[in-house]
């Protein structure tokens, strides 16, 4: 019977390969989470702009109040609302900051705009 022995130079190779792949997998996971946050922020900005435009068109409050009430609490802190009635319609633009998973990297804001007819 023949005994096979490992070479001493190859000891720990699997552990080093695992650590290298773990870094890559963490990077991919963070990128997926960041993409999800960006899509969620865009969805929330659209919801807020529709709610704000509806409230202003029906004269049921301010764009800021209605839009903030329609958003998640943790995203509304970085949101800004612009616009208002212009003739027979109302346009509201909402800007929401995209949260960052990676500290020190800014992904900027997302802008959504909604125009609705005035309800008179």
Cβ distance 83 to 91 under 8 Å?
Answer: yes
Task: Copy the structure tokens of residue 108.
Answer: 């900027």
Confidence of residue 78 (pLDDT cuts 50, 70, 90): confident
Residues recorded for the chain: 120
User: What digits encode the pLDDT tens for the residues 86-115?
Assistant: 889 999 999 999 999 887 888 899 999 999
Looking only at Cα atoms, what is the longest distance across the chain? 96
Task: State residue 16 phi and psi, 5-degree precision.
Answer: -70, -40
Domain ranges of the chain: 13-117
Mean pLDDT of 50-74: 92
Supply the pLDDT for residue 55: 93
Residue range 10-21: average pLDDT?
A: 82
DSSP code for 8: G
């Amino acid at each position: 019977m023949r005994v096979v022995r490992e070479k001493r130079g190859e000891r720990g190779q699997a552990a080093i390969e695992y650590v290298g792949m773990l870094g890559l997998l963490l990077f991919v996971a963070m990128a997926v989470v960041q993409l999800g946050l960006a899509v969620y922020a865009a969805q929330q900005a659209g919801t807020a702009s529709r709610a704000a435009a509806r409230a202003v068109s029906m004269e049921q409050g301010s764009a800021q109040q209605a839009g903030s009430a329609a958003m998640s609490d943790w995203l509304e802190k970085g949101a800004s609302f612009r616009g208002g009635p212009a003739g027979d319609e109302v346009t509201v633009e909402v800007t929401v900051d995209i949260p960052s998973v990676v500290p020190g990297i800014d992904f900027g804001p997302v802008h959504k705009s909604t125009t609705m007819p005035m309800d008179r």
